[in-house]
């Protein structure tokens, strides 16, 4: 410790600069799920796919008229995936995005 006496050190602030976040409203609720296509989207965060597989099984057992499609984002959850969102907009009625635990 004696060699540090009188020395100066530089300290960096770990706070960083948080991004500006713009809130968006939720999509309108569907009147019914009967005959609808629900995308179950694995955001590739921890074990979200396990939860989504269980949800898919629940839908097939309890609401067999609801079609589900389990898909995975093409990249990590921190990056946008426009092609996936376009597929859901074109072919789906709703989406459930799994973010793990």
Tally of residues, the chain: 101
CA–chain centroid gap for 78, Å, is 9
Q: Which residues of the chain, if any, have pLDDT below 50?
A: none
Q: Is 5 exposed, middle or buried (0-12, 13-18, 19+ CB in 10 A)?
A: exposed
Which tokens is 66 given?
């609801």
pLDDT 10s digits, 70-93? 999 988 778 889 999 999 999 999
* Residue 97 contacts residue 67 (beta carbons within 8 Å): no
Specify the pLDDT at position 100. Answer: 62
Specify the pLDDT at position 4. Answer: 66
Residues 6 or more apart whose CB falls under 8 angstroms from that of 76 comprise 44
- Around Cβ 22, how many Cβ atoms within 10 Å? 5
């Amino acid at each position: 410790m004696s060699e540090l006496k009188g020395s100066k050190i530089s300290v960096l602030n770990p706070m960083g600069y948080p991004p500006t976040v713009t809130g968006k409203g939720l999509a309108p609720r569907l009147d019914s799920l009967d005959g609808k296509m629900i995308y179950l989207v694995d955001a590739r965060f921890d074990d979200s796919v396990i939860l989504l597989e269980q949800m898919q099984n629940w839908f097939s057992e309890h609401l067999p008229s609801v079609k589900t499609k389990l898909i995975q984002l093409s990249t990590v959850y921190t990056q946008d995936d426009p092609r996936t969102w376009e597929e859901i907009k074109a072919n789906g009625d709703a989406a459930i995005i799994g973010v793990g635990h």
